[in-house]
Amino acid sequence: MKKNIKLILFYLLLSNISYGQQRITINRIESRLITNQGIEFIGNLKDKNNDLYTFSNWNNRGMIYLDGKAYSLSNINFNVSTNSFDSRINREKYFSFKSSEIDSVSINNLMFKKMGSSFFEVLFEIGNNSFLKKHDITFKKGVSNRLGVGTLGSTKTLIAYNYLIKSGDVFKKVEFNKRSILELLDNDNDKEALINFVRRRNLSYKKLHDIVVIFKFIFNNLNWIS
């Protein structure tokens, strides 16, 4: 850190689930966040930037899982721009946790699990099958000039979501429409069974809550392409 930056002390409430709740004081912030229990969260101290975050504020109850243990904290957010997790130290400083050191993180009861080099929000799991939500970045161009010369306004960076199902190591992207979901099924009998289930339950192929119900039915009852 630069010499003109004062040593920042702040407190996170961490609790080791295996040994009960304990208050942890941060002794040093450099490339490691070190606690008085000897717990080290490796990462980087960085300045405020234009990264996009899943949650609109930092008052989030989080749980970090690593090395078979879990630690809770109240100042964490998911950085969609970098696919990593940050804690805000003050309005201008952030601590970014090193992703390779973390197995999974729960924020406000939303579970993010590392799969490969990326984190996915797990909507639900049944056996070896998962329904996942990928937090991603998209770009929206400015409106084209009516004269066809240039654009009005700058390009905007926005958060976008992609949905996938996972079986073992196989990922398949899912669109929220009837055709995309039916194409995942192996045979006509299963397709007919799903159509009847959706009709009986008055479900929609376009609403996330209903899609969750649909995939729970598929994973539990039907043969689908894996």
Residue 12 neighbours by CB distance under 10 Å:
20
Residue 105 is which amino acid? V
Each residue of 31-89: pLDDT tens digit? 565 554 455 677 888 888 899 999 999 999 888 888 888 888 888 999 999 999 998 87
Give CA–CA dist 125/161, Å, rounded.
19
Please state the domain extents for the chain.
Answer: 10-115
How many angstroms separate the CA atoms of 23 and 12, rounded? 8
Percent of the chain with pLDDT over 90: 49
Distance CA 5, CA 46 (A): 12
Q: What is the pLDDT of residue 169?
A: 87
Smallest Cα–Cα separation from 5: which of 45, 51, 50? 45
pTM for the complete prediction? Answer: 0.78
Return d(Cα 95, Cα 93) in angstroms, integer: 7
- As a whole number of angstroms, the distance between CA 43 and CA 37 comes to 18
The model's pLDDT over 188-226, given as tens digits with 9 standing for 90+, comes to 999 999 999 999 999 999 999 999 999 999 999 988 765
Q: Higher confidence at residue 69 or residue 115?
A: 115
